[in-house]
Structure 1
């Protein structure tokens, strides 16, 4: 961990020492200074009202801050819970009492103020120690007195001051609990620095606001700032509109050139439709800035319409990324908004707005139409047909504007439904599909937005839930994005990558698959925007960087895809030990690696259970038989109701070649050295001759057939004499002729019986005697199915309830880069086909 990345968790380790020395804040500040923490890019974290609604929620937020924030970061807060709604209600009661002059309203007002004060006092008492509770209750009492005074006077003058109390109390409370439990903190009222022109435009005076914010931030203290409120140039309190705290957060991020803004809310991201009414909505893990801005404009329930404006500056080289995450489930990956490549630009979503007006006028044609557009920024407009769609709140202003031009206008209630995505208005296929999905809705018009990022249908009636779900299904049914990570850049790995471009073009199931990661044992190339499959190997050589396991798991934990598939083409036991963490992240694995599938019974069962509980798929057809479909056959029989009783065969391509070729015309040692020279054996041929590889393969198949056993339950004949087993490879090869007598004798005895020798794996289950399993050299008659194979072939024999008298036999090449890479691609297609039918359940904690 670098000095710049020391988080508050690290600071807290030092705080226990600092407390003993009696100068906590000063020494923490010194510690931060010494570690140059200010060099770290500032991050802004905004917490919404629901995230701060209760004592339990606040404590959860404190833990998020502890784990994710540093002292130079900024926290922006909304009012606790429904406090702003309560203040609005209190203001409305005063208006009613002024109008009605009723004592009943006055009593109701007194009770409402009392309830608000008691609720806030209860929250303070619940989360703070006695000393801090006393201080904040005193401040709350003064605020309630001020509120009561304002309500008794000119309430219009103090309208925004009244509404500001919610955020002021929230910032004060969070800052106090941070001071008490986490780190030095100060709360800042945004009205002390944030200057806007007016509440209609909310245009920020950036120069003045930035200077005043810099003056109010205190070095070595985590700033907690009120959202939603600001001031104008005359010093009057202003608000940024309902849900304006998100806008506050991005304004502040722009003022301090923050690297990231995280909006912690009650949903875990932005979805392809409102998940409250579209159960099959997909989380959009990454959204380009322009698309997110358009979604906010067209009614997305998470994005405030103006939130992105401060972060999108074409003239600036600085780019701030925006994240949306859930404070109720902070470990779940949220949505990131920023600048991305083509994968993110392929996302589609559907949104809608009801209660709109279709305004028709000749003034909306030509030059005056352009002026009307600039003045009112309509939802959509057609300056040839002379209409625009506006909100109901704009009707009066638009009517007055047109009256000044002495022209008439007609208004008609309408709704809109829109497909949003990168430049979708320019894509004929998207527009055609959108029109087909609306055939029963009979839209009045379909227009493209000015920015070309949406196609909008104007509806004569309110958009129904049924229509929204229908359109969403048609527009997003093929939208799943799957990331592919290839681990192992050796011979088979490179062949797998060579086959990938053609596979992506011809196999429909792979349509939404993207190569995003390449790893060797020491280097990695990760690109969330995709790696060109046609240049994968050369890009890896050129751009791969060294990595460690912690970095890899961190990236896997935050990948931006609907699903991620890791293809393990390594012989590494160390990498197989990461499977449990990978499965726990909901990531799928295709393994040619035998270690995990042949590990101890306890570890293997734990892997299977972890994968099942996290809906992770684990395929390993190439662990046994290269590309031969032996795993598929066993799966199919079991899933169809069959019961397997025996598994047997020749499972090693190397041993198959040796014993099919060994006929006595040359010594066994000469044959073995010849196989080594051709690359048929492992670099140390004892790996093949030991039988351990065949033993692991038999274990894998027996487990696949539904039996629980361990490697030690399988008897294994080692063909290497004990005297040669502990030698170095070079020493063994120098004495390899010591194998000759044994194999010559075995061959002679077999030939005398008209038979042959083969290294055979056998598993048998009997209800009476139980399980027996072994791998060994056997003498077989020449008529045996295992006796006459093409050298290097594997053969698998299955006896079952259905295949009792005439066993099922699968035979073919058991090694080779083409067949093994092909087997991996078979598994890849299989997983993608399964994922095509996968439904992700949307979890909502309580969207406002």
Structure 2
């Protein structure tokens, strides 16, 4: 695509979305660390940005660290100073020349040369005066380079030095003067351009360069959101979201897909490695959502921070900080204690016990503050360990559990945070990785959230939903299962905060909306759950074709739908491979035998080392009823129409008489037993005469008597041999040759298949272990209650398996 074409598309999109709020995208240093990383960022901008969006950048890779080292060498007058400057200049030159055409590269190279000359001048004469100016070069070079690359390859882009408009009060509170900063920014904007802004740097009211502290580019991004009234801020970083503990040290940490604003702010205050204390300050009004995503894997849903419902508020996480100071004084009791806590932004405080916890560098300032009150103070080295969650201080059960997990530790105090979003233990010893893992496990072991989507609201779907509330209440494995989606062929109700299972059908009637595959696919790719299960109770081949997409997203499928399990062999094998590759579970116990454990029996035999050589039986409840009931006293067509009226047959009884359903079921069981064959390999006898097959349903029913002679002849021939007729499915393997067939057979009345309760199914398995005396399973093979029950059995199995599933945390560059 040419730049002109892309610009045209972006302009059209902008005009169509003229009232759409600006979005802010921030890219951290590791996301911009190399040529390859920057190329990836450019692709992300192509896919996720629109004209007039704002892009905030950190310095490339380790540039800021290199500038700190250069500054230190200048202070110490180290002989390594010149070498370090040269290394940094070469690194920047390499990025410029690898990403830009010759003309653009020459232009940026000349700017870099001038900057290096200015840096050397500052370093040689009072470097302390220009400390922030020297550090600012990192963001300056990064923004200048990215804007040039975008102009060459994507669309018009401008570069802004935040010092030209962003004003703060000081480098302690970092409060922004929006009355100056907002108009200053707006005056520099170019319509229909991407704006690339330096992160981390700004100026004070005296126009002196200031920084926003380490990791201050995230704060820059949210400041830009406040200045521009942005709809969303995306922090593109080196991890794919916020986790329930630091994933570098807690391998079992879980991604927190959605975080309420207050909880996120508390995590940042208490040392979360991705969120930082000031980041959320500009978003206090809650109108802007914050999104944390991975620039290394942008297709993976990240963490959303904003206003959410009850489900998101149930999340818990554990965080810690070492190397802190506990300050205890009489002056910290009562109102003065609260004042001290606010003055020093204490990590935790208890004005009843007269204590605050501060960072080590604050110890001198606290001593001086107390000296003014002529009060003694005791300082003790401590660490803190906190459980963080929405209004967690009001949850007595959570606080009690937290205290129990720490009963063998040296805990000096357990304090409720003033925000109400954390309970903090003050420890006399550093928090170890082992302790962090143990507490995280105890506090979050039941926290995995599983979303449930039910597709198909016919008789069986309705019964499944009627059973769901009691199942959720009494089955421990379903404790963290949430009904979040209901679908029919035309409408859907999706609610990420959960659908009340007790009123699911009425809620669907009131709130369901039309949907299409694209809308469903979009939601499934960004669902906010640890796991998602789709229960397919439709008869739809079209819906079964979505399974491949489900499996690619790691979604689990439980189905009564037979289409996928009996698909052509290449497609079936593709589904199995995709499910395995993405750890998706695919259960279909009710595809054959409704709630009967035939699939379970086959799987159990195979897992135990047995080998199955024959599967046979009566697999259709409809044909079971017809042939158990048919005795010649009335014509077969009369019996068939009676079964239709009772709802025993399909609306078109030819679906049953064709044997196609039985053929698919035999194929499913043969595949479950480990054999590879296709539907065409299963010979099928169609009980509908050729002349009746092309008719409409109404025409067939009107001419149904034409089938009577055939069935009467079959029955009479069987009677002469003291036998009966049954529609039988048979699969067997002998000398490596497979034979599979479904057909009407004449059976001895002593045969196991001769006498069963009408509508029942019967399955017979012969194997190495069950050779002379085969394994037989029989019982109801159809019916809404038993089928719904079988689906619930599969649901419990999947949830039990997921309870033991270990999450894999991918960390690209978090330090």
Query: Normalization by structure 1: what TM-score?
Result: 0.95
Residue 247 of structure 2 corresponds to 275
> Who is 2:201 aligned against?
229
After TM superposition, the structure 1 = structure 2 runs for residues 567-582 of structure 1, keeping only pairs within 5 Å, are: 567-582=535-550
Deviation sequence 1:144-182 (CA, Å, 0-9, x none) = 111112222232332211111100100000000011111
Contact 1:37 1:72 in 2 (8 A): no
Q: What corresponds to 1:74 in structure 2?
A: 54
Match of 2:149 in 1: 177
> Which of residues 239, 248, 256 is equivalent to 2:211?
239
In the other structure, the counterpart of 1:793 is 760
Please give the secondary structure, in 1, of the residue aligned with 2:566.
coil
**Residue 168 of structure 1 aligns with which residue?**
140
- Within 2, Cα distance between the matches of 1:545 and 1:392? 56
Alignment partner of 2:379: what SS?
Answer: strand
The answer to whether 1:202 aligns with 2:174 is: yes
Which of 399, 417, 420 is the matching residue for 2:388?
Answer: 420
Q: 1:462 aligns with which of 414, 422, 430?
A: 430
CA distance in 1: counterparts of 2:600 and 2:231, whole angstroms: 49
CA-CA distance at 1:840 after TM superposition: 1.1
Report the equivalent of 2:337. 369
Question: Equivalent residue for 1:100?
Answer: none
Deviation at 1:234, TM superposition (A): 2.0
Structure 2 segments unaligned to the other structure (5+ residues): none
Distance (Å, rounded) in 1 between the aligned partners of 2:182 and 2:639: 80
Corresponding residue for 1:811? Answer: 778
CA distance in 2, matches of 1:135, 1:494: 69
Distance in 1 (CA, whole Å) between partners of 2:768 and 2:589 is 23
Give the aligned partner of residue 64 of structure 1.
Answer: 44
Answer with 629-638 or 148-157: which moved more: 148-157
Residues 38 and 72 in structure 1, CA contact (< 8 A), matched pair in contact too: no
| Residue 87 of structure 1 pairs with residue 54 of structure 2 | no
CA deviation after TM superposition for structure 1 residue 274, in Å: 0.9
1:825 aligns with 2:792: yes
For residue 770 of structure 2, give the secondary structure of its aligned residue in structure 1.
coil
Q: 1:17 to 1:398 in 2, by over 3 A?
A: closer
Deviations 1:636-678 (A, max 9, x none): 1111111111101110011111111111111111111111111
Match status 1:722 vs 2:690: yes
Deviation, structure 1 residue 28: 7.5
In structure 1, runs of 5+ residues without a counterpart are: 1-11, 19-24, 98-104
Is residue 586–residue 616 contact of structure 1 (8 Å, CA) maintained in 2?
A: yes
Aligned to 1:21: none
Paired residue secondary structure (1:353) = strand
Match of residue 114 from structure 1: 86
Q: Is the Cα–Cα contact under 8 Å of residues 28 and 220 in structure 1 kept in the other structure?
A: no
Q: How many residues align?
A: 815
User: Which residue does the alignment assign to 1:4?
Assistant: none
Which residue does 2:616 correspond to in 1? 648
- Cα offset, 1:295, TM superposition: 0.8
1:780 is aligned to 2:722: no
1:289 is the counterpart of 2:269: no
In structure 1, the partner of 2:298 is: 330
* 2:553 maps to 1:566: no
> Helix, strand or coil for the counterpart of 1:776?
strand
Q: Is the 8 A contact 2:320 2:384 kept in 1?
A: yes
SS in 2 for 1:38: coil
Q: Does the aligned pair in 1 maintain the 2:10–2:51 contact within 8 Å?
A: no
What are the equivalent positions in structure 2 for 1:434-449 lying under 5 Å apart?
434-449=402-417
Contact 2:410 2:429 in 1 (8 A): no
Tell me which residue corresponds to 2:164. Answer: 192
CA distance in 2, matches of 1:431, 1:411: 27
Residue pairs, 1:208-607, within 5 angstroms? 208-313=180-285, 319-607=287-575
Q: Which moved more, 1:502-511 or 1:774-783?
A: 774-783
Is the contact between residue 58 and residue 142 of structure 2 (CA under 8 Å) also seen in structure 1? yes
Q: Shift of the alpha carbon at 1:845? A: 0.9
Q: Does 1:150 align with 2:115?
A: no
* Deviation by residue 1:160-213 (Cα, 9 ceiling, x = unmatched): 111111001000000000111111100111111211111111111123222221
Cα distance in 2 for residues equivalent to 1:16 and 1:421: 49
2:588/2:794 contact within 8 Å kept: yes
CA contact 2:266–2:421 (8 Å) conserved in 1: yes
In structure 1, what is the equivalent of residue 721 of structure 2? 753
Query: What's the RMSD between the two structures over aligned residues?
Result: 1.4
Please give the secondary structure, in 2, of the residue aligned with 1:158. helix
Asked whether 1:665 is paired with 2:637, we answer: no
2:65 and 2:618 map into 1 onto residues whose CA distance is 75
1:222-260 Cα offsets, whole Å, 9 max, x none, are 011111111112222111110000011011112222111
Change (3 A) 1:843 1:31: closer
Aligned to 1:744: 712
- Structure 1 residue 804: deviation in Å? 0.9
Name which of structure 1's ranges 118-127 and 698-707 shifts more when overlaid on structure 2.
Answer: 118-127
